[in-house]
Structure 1
Amino acid sequence: MLGKLSVEEINQLLAHNITGRIGCTDGEKTYIVPVNYAFNDTYLIAHSKEGMKVAMMRSHPLVCFQVDEIIDNTNWRSAIIWGAYEEITDPKERFYAMKFLISRLAQLTVSETTGLLDMHREMANEEDTEHIRPVVYRIRITERTGRFEKP
């Protein structure tokens, strides 16, 4: 059976997962990459090192984000959200966004690539200016859709 996810089911899918794919553009080229995130019903919080993705989102802040749960080819759920990239630069807001992200990721067994250890170090050393700090951002959700298939 194929079906459409409700807003509540989409929110549950986003809340249950920590890795999705963000799609961004420079106006000519589209770039899609996996990111770890935390979700709070209004936006996604994520962080990244400076690079192509951040440069694209700064110049074209409208992005797309996808999360899947795939059991097998006939049993899956998928959600897509659209929203606006917002870089979090206020020190207090940045601190709480990172704290929220760390608390969500720390509840699960995560890959070394999440940078959880580095995030803990950064939170402990907010005044450290010698190291390049990751860009902390949110995607403010403007639209959501989702589909599923189950036997």
Structure 2
Amino acid sequence: MLGKLNDEEIDQVLANNVTGRIGCQENGKVYIVPVSYAFNDTYVVAHSQVGMKIEIMRKHPQVCFQVDEITGLTNWRSVICWGDYEEIVNSRERYYAMKFLVGRLSHLKVSETAGVERMHEEMAKQHILPNTAGPVVYRIRIHEKTGRYEKE
């Protein structure tokens, strides 16, 4: 059976998962990349080193964010969100966003590229040097979301 997820089910998929994909575009070229994230009912929080994704989102902040839960070819849920990329630059807000993200990821076995250890170190440095340069911490402020499912 195929169907549409309601708002509560969409939020549940976003909250239950920590890996999604960001889609951004520049000059007609779409770039999609996986990211580790945390969801707080309003926005997606993530971090990254400066690279192609960050450079594109700085120029073109309208992004798409997608998350899947797949337990089988006939049992899955998929969510797509559209929103705006916002870099978190205020040191206090950045610290709490990182704390939220680390808290969500630290008890899970995540990829080394998620940078959880690096974020722990960065948070410790911020207590000493609040303006320490480090990964870009950002959020996606969600404006629209939709979801589908298939259940056998």
- Which bin holds the TM-score, normalised by the shorter protein? over 0.9
Q: Is the 8 A contact 1:27 1:60 kept in 2?
A: no
Equivalenced residue count is 150
**Root-mean-square deviation (CA), in Å?**
1.3
- Structure 2 partner of 1:133: 134
> Using the alignment, how far apart are the partners of 1:72 and 1:27 within structure 2?
36
Establish whether residue 149 from structure 1 lines up as the match of residue 127 from structure 2.
no
> Using the alignment, how far apart are the partners of 1:118 and 1:128 within structure 2?
16
- Structure 1 partner of 2:30: 30
Which consecutive segments of 4 or more residues in structure 1 shift more than 2 A?
none
Establish whether residue 13 from structure 1 lines up as the match of residue 36 from structure 2.
no
Task: Give structure 1 stretches of 5+ with no counterpart.
Answer: none
User: How far apart are residue 111 of structure 1 and its match?
Assistant: 1.8
Task: Give structure 2 stretches of 5+ with no counterpart.
Answer: none
State the identity as a percent.
64
- Structure 1 partner of 2:69: 69
- Structure 2 partner of 1:106: 106
Q: Is the 8 A contact 1:80 1:146 kept in 2?
A: yes
> Using the alignment, how far apart are the partners of 2:14 and 2:44 within structure 1?
9
TM-score of the superposition, structure 1-length normalised? 0.96
> Using the alignment, how far apart are the partners of 1:96 and 1:71 within structure 2?
33
> Using the alignment, how far apart are the partners of 1:72 and 1:123 within structure 2?
38
Q: Secondary structure at the match of 2:134?
A: coil
Q: Secondary structure at the match of 1:136?
A: strand
TM-score of the superposition, structure 2-length normalised? 0.95
User: How far apart are residue 63 of structure 1 and its match?
Assistant: 0.2
Map 1:70-109 to 2 at 5 A: 70-109=70-109
Q: Is the 8 A contact 2:91 2:131 kept in 1?
A: no
